[in-house]
C-alpha cells in the first residue's frame, strides 16, 4: 500500500456498477488501487466501465447478473470465493425505484421489483459474502440509502419502504458482526446527485445544479479507509 494507491492489494465488490454512483465508485476504488468486481445486469455498460478503469491503470473483473434471480448471488459468491480469499470492500449501490405515485396506485410488479432488488438481494449479498468479509483484515460494507427511508414523503412510499428496510438490514448486520470481527458497516445517503434515478424523480431539474456522482465516490473511498463504528450514518452534501 502506498499513499498514491491506499487500497492496493484490496478486493472490492460494487453492485449497480454500470452507471451513476456505482460506476463512479468502482472507478474511484480502482484508481485507489483496489481490484474491483463490477456487478450489474448491463453487460455492455459494465464493459465500458471496465475499459475506463483499465485506461487509468486500474484492474477489474465484470460479473454480469441480475441480483433478483434465484440463486444468482450464491453463484456469484461461489465464483468469487474460488478466486479470492477475501472481500475487503462491499459497496451496495444497486437500487430500483418504482414510479412515484400515491400508495393506493402503486404498481404491484414495480413494488415487487423494488422489494427484490433493494431488500431481498441485500440480505442475500450480506449472507453470501459474510465469510469473505470476515476473513479480511478490516472489511468495510457501505450501503447507499435515501433520505426518504427515514423521512417519509408523499408519493415516494413504495421506494421509501424498501430503503427503510434496507437501512435496517445493514444496521442489524453491523451490530451482529461488530464484536465478532473487524467488519464495519456504514449507511451513506448520497444526497442530491446527478444520476438517472434522480432525473426520473425530478424531470424538471437542471442536472448541473446537483453534484456529480464522483463527489459521492470520493467520499466512499475515504470512508472505507476510516475506522468508524458499525451503524455509522452520514449524508454527502
CA distance 43 to 74: 19
Contacts of 69 (CB under 8 A, 6+ apart): none
Choice among 96, 159, 173, 202 that is catalytic = 159
Q: Is the pLDDT of residue 1 over 60?
A: no
Angle 45-92-78 from CA coordinates, rounded to 5°:
80
Confidence of residue 4 (pLDDT cuts 50, 70, 90): confident
C-alpha cell at position 167: 437501512
Domain residue ranges of the chain, discontinuous segments joined by +? 11-235
Q: What is the pLDDT of residues 25-58, one digit of tens each?
A: 999 999 999 999 999 999 999 999 999 999 999 9
Query: Looking at the predicted structure, is the pLDDT value of residue 17 above 80?
Result: yes
Whole-model pTM above 0.75? yes
| Active-site annotation holds for 202 | no
CA distances from 101 to 104, 137, 164, 183, 198 (A): 8, 45, 18, 38, 15
The CATH class of 11-235 is alpha beta
Amino acid at each position: 500500500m502506498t499513499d498514491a494507491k491506499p487500497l492496493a492489494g484490496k478486493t472490492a465488490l460494487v453492485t449497480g456498477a454500470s452507471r451513476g454512483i456505482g460506476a463512479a465508485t468502482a472507478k474511484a476504488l480502482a484508481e485507489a488501487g483496489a481490484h474491483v468486481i463490477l456487478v450489474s445486469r448491463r453487460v455492455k455498460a459494465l464493459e465500458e466501465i471496465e475499459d475506463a478503469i483499465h485506461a487509468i491503470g486500474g484492474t477489474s473483473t465484470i460479473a454480469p447478473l441480475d441480483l433478483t434471480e434465484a440463486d444468482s448471488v450464491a453463484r456469484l459468491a461461489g465464483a468469487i470465493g474460488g478466486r479470492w480469499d477475501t472481500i475487503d470492500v462491499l459497496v451496495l449501490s444497486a437500487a430500483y425505484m418504482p414510479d412515484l405515485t400515491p400508495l393506493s396506485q402503486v404498481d404491484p410488479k414495480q413494488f415487487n421489483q423494488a422489494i427484490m432488488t433493494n431488500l431481498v438481494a441485500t440480505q442475500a449479498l450480506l449472507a453470501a459474502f459474510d465469510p469473505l468479509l470476515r476473513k479480511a483484515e478490516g472489511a468495510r460494507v457501505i450501503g447507499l440509502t435515501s433520505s426518504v427511508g427515514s423521512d417519509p414523503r408523499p408519493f415516494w412510499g413504495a421506494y421509501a419502504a424498501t430503503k427503510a428496510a434496507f437501512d435496517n438490514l445493514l444496521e442489524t448486520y453491523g451490530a451482529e458482526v461488530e464484536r465478532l470481527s473487524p467488519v464495519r458497516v456504514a449507511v451513506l445517503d448520497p444526497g442530491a446527485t446527478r444520476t438517472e434515478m434522480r432525473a426520473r424523480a425530478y424531470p424538471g431539474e437542471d442536472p448541473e445544479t446537483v453534484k456529480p456522482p464522483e463527489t459521492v465516490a470520493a467520499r466512499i473511498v475515504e470512508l472505507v479507509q476510516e475506522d468508524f463504528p458499525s451503524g455509522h450514518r452520514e449524508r454527502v452534501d
